[in-house]
Amino acid sequence: MEPRKALDPFDNRIDKQWYQRRVVITAGIIMVTCACLLLSLISDYFWYLWLVIPAFALYKLWSSVIKPWIFAPAPEVPQQAGGNEPPRKGMRQTKQRKQASGVGSGQPMSAFNLR
């Protein structure tokens, strides 16, 4: 029985590119670690070279996630067909409430208004 193609994680190009980027990043981390270990034989200050790894991670996080999220342009609001008219939704209900409460009917307000 042949496996389904949908379950193959390396089937399409995007997954292969993602895998290749991770391999390159991992190789870079291993090289920085080897450099730190060898150079730390000369001086203890070379251990600070390991700070390059989280600095690079923060740079990637800023440039690919945080910066586009913060500085994204505002979405455009579609214009209504009527122009600058306010929406008429609920006008009938507002009118019925005014009539029921007696406001604007020309009669004085009364607590005993039985309308």
pLDDT digits (tens, 9 = 90+) for 67-82: 888 888 888 877 765 5
Is 6's pLDDT higher than 80? no
Angle of the 52-61 helix axis to the 13-39 helix axis, nearest 10? 150
Q: Model confidence over 42-98: pLDDT tens digits?
A: 999 989 989 999 999 999 999 988 888 888 888 887 776 555 555 565 677 777 777
CB–CB of 10/16 below 8 Å?
A: yes
102 phi, psi to nearest 5 deg: 85, 5
Could you tell me which residues come within 8 angstroms of residue 99 by beta carbon, excluding any fewer than 6 positions away?
Answer: 105
Place of tokens 């309308």: 115
Cα→Cα distances 114→97, 106, 111, Å: 15, 15, 9
CB–CB of 36/47 below 8 Å?
A: yes
Is 103's pLDDT higher than 60? no
